[in-house]
Structure 1
Amino acid sequence: MNPQDPLPAPPTAARRLLEEAGRLGVATIFTNLGSDHPAFIEAFAAIEARGGTMPEIIVCPHEMTALSAAHGYAMATGRAQMVLVHVDVGTQNLGCSIHNAARGRVPAIVVAGLSPVSTSGERTGARTEFIHYTQDSTRQHEIGGQYMKWSYEVRAAEMIDQVLLRGLQIATSVPAGPVYLTGAREVWEEPAGAAPQAPEHWRPPGSTCLPDDAVRTLHAALWAAERPLLITSYLGRQPEAVDALAELAERIGIAVCEVNPQYVNCPGDHPHHVGYRRNSLVDEADLILMIDVDVPWIVARVQPRADARLFHIDCDVLKASMGFWHFPAEASWQADSLAALRQLLALPSPAEAGQARGARTAWIADARRRLVMPDMPTPANDAINIQQLSEAIAALLNERSIVVFEEPTATDRVLYTLRMRRPGSYFANGGSGLGWSINAAIGLKLACPDAEVITLVGDGSYVFGVPSSTYWVTETYRTPQLTIVFNNGGWNAPKASTLLVHPDGTAKRNDRYWITTSARARLADIAAAAGGAAAFRVERASELAATLAEALACVRAGRSAVVDVVTLPISAQVLGEAQSSARRVGHDPSPTHASRTPA
């Protein structure tokens, strides 16, 4: 530190934002810098030179890494982190990570620059480069506007404290989500000497409980039901709610189904846990309690009984940010699920509870037997199927493990095998923007430095995650993860969707899906090249356990490892084959001098 280094006095708006963010509990700023950020870069350097405090700066080569890592951090802690991106193009590069943060209801503060508007050069930060003209868009905030809870332009430097506090207040209020702040280069350079605000005056609104009459109605209905079913996806965002749900399910005798869980919502080994398969028992239950869930069942596949009583408790009960959405309920309440569970637990059991509970638990036990997933056939030639891979992963887990999951078409099998039980040990994307997991793992590792982070990701999702960015960050900022790639040779989801719509169509008969995008790719080598990760590729079941153990040892030694596990292929179609044959017609068929050497 050089004490002679000058500091602006009063600080610039950019520096004020950094220092105020740290004071408000923002631990990390994930950033991809551009020409709109000289004020921030100067503030970074000035604070560092004077030994001041600010959030840790994590430079991300791609914006998908930045917001997804902030997403992971927020899931583990509940605290919003900051993402600093470059004008319109950096905002566009956030891509589907904005959708994921919105649908996952996680708080984040996204800060983007605006092109400077002044051209004379009299103001600090005025236009100095040609891109300040081409990047000056008319409605930058609309790029991701429908996914942001709030968008606002900082127009006066002295307002930066209050704008940040309002942004945090909105981002962390229930349902949580991202907010988007912008400011022109000139504004970030202006002095901001306003008096500090009192954070306690900017707290988000308190959580809501169920009305007393609602608690009594729901409690009586649960005890009167013969086959009560509870469906949830993200109740476990509050870890205390997991034990509360388990206690209520045990006391009354309620079947619990987790559908596309984003967290551990109920211990996977609980005797009333009936699995992870959507639509299960929906047509059998005479009462369905939906708690913190977006899609409890697929209407085209299953319907509740005509006489079933349906109730819904959710932090986002109307899903107002979605388009068309409706699931029937005789009563629905926007309420805090933990508070609601505690209210139900506080009421005494009815006098005749014993006999009725016995009948309910007998139904649950029978349902669990019927919902057992049959073993998959053992593949020939020592090949690997999803069950073998899931079982090998289960053998790796311990009390320090955090599993980050993004393998959409293998969800039922993997979760059925792992049966995650510890709150805070499992996280998945609440949205559908693929590429989230390998980057969210960075934020989870920063938030939980003692954890062993194991990312389970499909080959398509791995590529969408921009691994050349991810593994540079993991190496640079010492956030090692074990990544296990489920490599079935392409995108299985489009094939599954096609078969749902055209189960006997031409695509199925001819095995023509145009999805084999990962065939022949050396996926782990991307991570090795970008960030020095240990790269493994395994194609034989007999070598799977040893390879995973070796890779985990690398992670424990502080180095990320990626294991590219080649599973049974989803299609034999060779992309480009027909087109290449057509292009070769009439051309010299003699071989070229190029050669291909196996990696």
Structure 2
Amino acid sequence: MNARTGADAVLEVLLAWGVRRVFICPGSTEAAFLDATVRHPDFEVVLTTHESVTVAMADGHARATGEPAVAYLHTHLGLVNGLAHLDAARMARSPVVVLNGLKAASIQARGGFTALPATGELARPFVKRAWQSLTTAGLPEDVTQALRAATAEPSGPVWLGLAQDLMETVCPVAVPDPARHRVSARTAPDPERLREAAELLRSAERPVLVAGAEVGRHGAQRELVALAERLGAPVCNEDRRGFERPGFPADHPLHAGGYSAQNPAVAGADVLVFLGCRCFVEFEPSPEPPVPPCCRVIHSHVDPSELAKLQGTDVALVADESLVAAGLLDLLGDARAPARPPVPSVHTEPPTPSEHTEPPAPATVHQVAAALAEVVDDRTTVFEDATTSEPALLRALPLNSVDALFTTASGSLGWGMGAALGYQLGAPERRVLAVVGDGVFQFGPQALWVAARHRIPVLFVVINNRSYAAVAAALRRYGGTAARVGSYPGKDISGVDIAAVARGFGLPARRLDRAHELPAAVKELGALDGPALIEVLTDPDDLGAAPR
């Protein structure tokens, strides 16, 4: 029983790579691994009660640290439960390593209990690499290769199947040296293509820059700000369908809101520079082109498959965005920015609510967003997972740094519940708010147990309109019988006292129906040493501005 097993070898590889915790929803196939963790008290087992939370926590943790995070799932059943949020990790290029406990090889071959042939094929569309270990001796190398693949650019999730019999067998093979397997190189842009981009910008009269999620992931915001100031060019954040985090500070005078072809800054552009953007994430067929006619396009991305995928480009740059921006700055020289008209205003906000002017309950989403903006400071990170509230939140919240807000373009509801917890563990110096819708909450309430058990101090703010408003909005756009008679099947999800549910999981919780009460409640519950929840009731008939 004291012999070094395959499970010990797996754990030793993780520790050698600096992985100090695992997010796990275990079953019997994970017994050998769990037993090995008892022999390593410096390794933390973060127990979850649903695999969707497991994967989302690993995703959030990877976004906080930029390092690999491990989600350990139980057979094909646990994998299937985690796939929706694995898609969020895929789109964010999070280095999530999914270790999947599988039944012994002999049982797999005979269709035993919770055994499925080729389990890795379930994960393959969502990961960079899928492999099932074949021998106990191969476990150290296989785990090493999974970590290497997850962290090498373009980074992203990987899947590794670990059969129960291999994990329980003696393993004499040493741990490979991580320093010889980790690939930390950054991709530099092709010099000739970079010169072409600089020439386009030098001759442009109305250039506009667009900051994608990769600007934040590669830490390129400082270079982007310098480039914008050198050009005197307005900067938009990526369009909402691809938006995952801010790439340009919203309080900068050159900030021009979110990208769309109708944005006044974009509509007048003659050169558009997409830095680390997906061009574009389509939601519904649209007759309108996403780029103004006759506009020249420069597009950079670390993943060449993103370039010219839907939108043609004049100059394509395969590179890390910080190196692209720095290279353009060098080529443009010290010339001062030409005089350009002020950045057009792209939106107007409703007045901030006050105790004396606020209309009767229920609160509106705009009021809730404005109230939250009062208590979000530069040390706060918001995980936003509120479908129809998202436009109001993105306009109102002070998105001045790359870690001010995270969201997902995957559409997998419930992601924000677990991702906020994983992020808080990876960035304990940050104050984390999980702002989610009531529909989202019903996809991920298991996260509350995890928060309470591990005392993770995330404050959940649930915007409760008691409906799937996006469904009703789709029916309204469809313009059929439902829209004509004002009856929307699939909309009403009322009847849940979310604050009471949170208290049942052991969290302090409050239920509000007035937005002006929110700042005080955030300050009160946010000061507690542990997680808490605030439920804010809003208008069920507010269908939002931009459904998914």
Give the TM-score of the pair, scaled to structure 2. Answer: 0.91
User: Are 1:358 and 2:357 counterparts?
Assistant: no
The residue number in structure 2 matching 1:265 is 247
Return the letter of the residue paired with 1:499: R
The residue number in structure 1 matching 2:77 is 89
CA contact (8 A) 2:371 2:515 kept: no
Deviations 1:5-46 (A, max 9, x none): x622xx111111012101111122001111212211221233
CA contact (8 A) 1:113 1:182 kept: yes
CA contact (8 A) 2:277 2:301 kept: yes
The residue number in structure 1 matching 2:386 is 407
Instruction: State the shift of 1:296 in Å.
Output: 4.4
For residue 362 of structure 2, the aligned residue among 365, 383, 407 is 383
For residue 528 of structure 1, the aligned residue among 503, 507, 521 is 503
Return the letter of the residue paired with 1:244: E
Tell me: higher relative CO, structure 1 or 2? Use CA pairs within 8 A at least 6 residues apart. Answer: 2
Instruction: State the shift of 1:168 in Å.
Output: 0.9
Return the letter of the residue paired with 1:345: L
* Separation (CA, whole Å) in 1 of partners of 2:203 and 2:281: 23
CA contact (8 A) 2:16 2:178 kept: no
For residue 284 of structure 1, the aligned residue among 268, 275, 283 is 268
CA contact (8 A) 2:75 2:114 kept: yes
Return the letter of the residue paired with 1:309: R
- Over aligned residues, Cα RMSD in angstroms? 2.5
Structure 1 runs not aligned, ≥5 long: 1-5, 120-125, 573-599
The residue number in structure 1 matching 2:11 is 18
The residue number in structure 2 matching 1:561 is 532
The residue number in structure 1 matching 2:546 is none
Q: Which protein is bigger by CA-based radius of gyration?
A: 1
Deviations 1:338-393 (A, max 9, x none): 11111112234475x55xx212xx1x42x22x543455998742431122111111
The residue number in structure 2 matching 1:577 is none
Return the letter of the residue paired with 1:394: A
* Separation (CA, whole Å) in 2 of partners of 1:144 and 1:194: 28
Structure 1 segment 14-53 matched on structure 2, within 5 A: 14-48=7-41, 53=42
* Separation (CA, whole Å) in 2 of partners of 1:92 and 1:304: 38
* Separation (CA, whole Å) in 2 of partners of 1:296 and 1:238: 18
Structure 2 runs not aligned, ≥5 long: 544-548
1:507–1:165 Cα change, 3 Å = same
User: Are 1:243 and 2:238 counterparts?
Assistant: no
Instruction: State the shift of 1:277 in Å.
Output: 5.2
1:478–1:544 Cα change, 3 Å = closer
Deviations 1:508-550 (A, max 9, x none): 22222223343231122222212x1112111124433333333
CA contact (8 A) 2:472 2:491 kept: no
- The 10-residue stretch of structure 1 (217-226 or 332-341) with the greater mean CA deviation from structure 2: 217-226
The residue number in structure 2 matching 1:100 is 88
1:350–1:571 Cα change, 3 Å = closer
Instruction: State the shift of 1:227 in Å.
Output: 1.7
* Separation (CA, whole Å) in 2 of partners of 1:406 and 1:371: 22
- The 10-residue stretch of structure 1 (174-183 or 258-267) with the greater mean CA deviation from structure 2: 258-267
CA contact (8 A) 1:278 1:297 kept: no
Deviations 1:41-72 (A, max 9, x none): 22123334xxxx4x311010111111100100
* Separation (CA, whole Å) in 2 of partners of 1:317 and 1:513: 43
CA contact (8 A) 1:234 1:292 kept: yes
Return the letter of the residue paired with 1:543: E
* Separation (CA, whole Å) in 2 of partners of 1:184 and 1:159: 12
Deviations 1:256-286 (A, max 9, x none): 1112332231111111111125332443211
* Separation (CA, whole Å) in 1 of partners of 2:2 and 2:209: 58
CA contact (8 A) 2:352 2:371 kept: no
CA contact (8 A) 1:274 1:371 kept: no
- The 10-residue stretch of structure 1 (178-187 or 224-233) with the greater mean CA deviation from structure 2: 224-233
User: Are 1:548 and 2:519 counterparts?
Assistant: no
1:443–1:428 Cα change, 3 Å = same
1:105–1:200 Cα change, 3 Å = same
1:379–1:513 Cα change, 3 Å = farther
User: Are 1:537 and 2:511 counterparts?
Assistant: yes
* Separation (CA, whole Å) in 1 of partners of 2:279 and 2:538: 29
* Separation (CA, whole Å) in 2 of partners of 1:411 and 1:432: 12
Instruction: State the shift of 1:496 in Å.
Output: 2.8
In the alignment of these two chains, the number of paired residues is 532
1:382–1:341 Cα change, 3 Å = same
Q: Secondary structure at the match of 1:475?
A: helix
CA contact (8 A) 2:24 2:51 kept: yes
1:544–1:195 Cα change, 3 Å = closer
CA contact (8 A) 2:272 2:295 kept: yes
The residue number in structure 2 matching 1:393 is 372
* Separation (CA, whole Å) in 1 of partners of 2:399 and 2:279: 21
The residue number in structure 2 matching 1:508 is 483
The residue number in structure 1 matching 2:256 is 274
Instruction: State the shift of 1:419 in Å.
Output: 2.6
Instruction: State the shift of 1:302 in Å.
Output: 4.1
For residue 518 of structure 1, the aligned residue among 488, 493, 505 is 493
The residue number in structure 2 matching 1:372 is 348
Deviations 1:202-246 (A, max 9, x none): 122622111222222212212321221222330343363111111
The residue number in structure 1 matching 2:150 is 171
The residue number in structure 2 matching 1:594 is none
Q: Secondary structure at the match of 1:74?
A: helix
* Separation (CA, whole Å) in 2 of partners of 1:35 and 1:382: 50
* Separation (CA, whole Å) in 1 of partners of 2:405 and 2:331: 31
Deviations 1:460-511 (A, max 9, x none): 112112x1x21111121121211111111211222333333x2x43222222
The residue number in structure 2 matching 1:590 is none
